[in-house]
A and B are shown apart, each in its own frame.
Chain A
Amino acid sequence: AQSVTQPDIHITVSEGASLELRCNYSYGATPYLFWYVQSPGQGLQLLLKYFSGDTLVQGIKGFEAEFKRSQSSFNLRKPSVHWSDAAEYFCAVGFSGGYQKVTFGTGTKLQVIP
Chain B
Amino acid sequence: ETGVTQTPRHLVMGMTNKKSLKCEQHLGHNAMYWYKQSAKKPLELMFVYSLEERVENNSVPSRFSPECPNSSHLFLHLHTLQPEDSALYLCASSQDIGGPYGYTFGSGTRLTVV
A52 to B110, CA, bound (A): 36
A105, B42: Cβ atoms closer than 8 Å: yes
Contact mask for chain B residues 15-26; partner A; CB cutoff 8 A; 1 contact, 0 none? 000000000000
The answer, yes or no, to whether A67 is at the interface (CB within 8 Å) is no
| A46/B108 contact (C-beta < 8 A), A104-B42, A106-B42 known | no
Contact mask for chain B residues 81-107; partner A; CB cutoff 8 A; 1 contact, 0 none? 000000000101000011110111111
A106 to B104, CA, bound (A): 19
| A90/B43 contact (C-beta < 8 A), A98-B98, A99-B55, A99-B97 known | yes
CB contacts (< 8 Å) of A32 on chain B: these are 99-100
Mark the stretch among A16-24, A37-45, A69-77, A79-87 that contacts chain B: A37-45
B42, A99: Cβ atoms closer than 8 Å: no
B103, A101: Cβ atoms closer than 8 Å: no
Q: How many residues of B contact A (CB 8 A)?
A: 24
Interface of A, helix, strand, loop or mixed by DSSP: loop
Binding site for A on B (CB under 8 A): 4, 6, 42-43, 45, 48, 50, 55-56, 58, 90, 92, 97-100, 102-108, 110
With A32-B99, A51-B100, A99-B55 known, 19 other A-B pairs at CB within 8 A are A32-B100, A41-B110, A42-B108, A43-B4, A43-B6, A43-B90, A44-B90, A44-B92, A45-B105, A49-B100, A49-B102, A96-B100, A98-B98, A99-B56, A99-B97, A99-B98, A100-B98, A101-B48, A107-B42
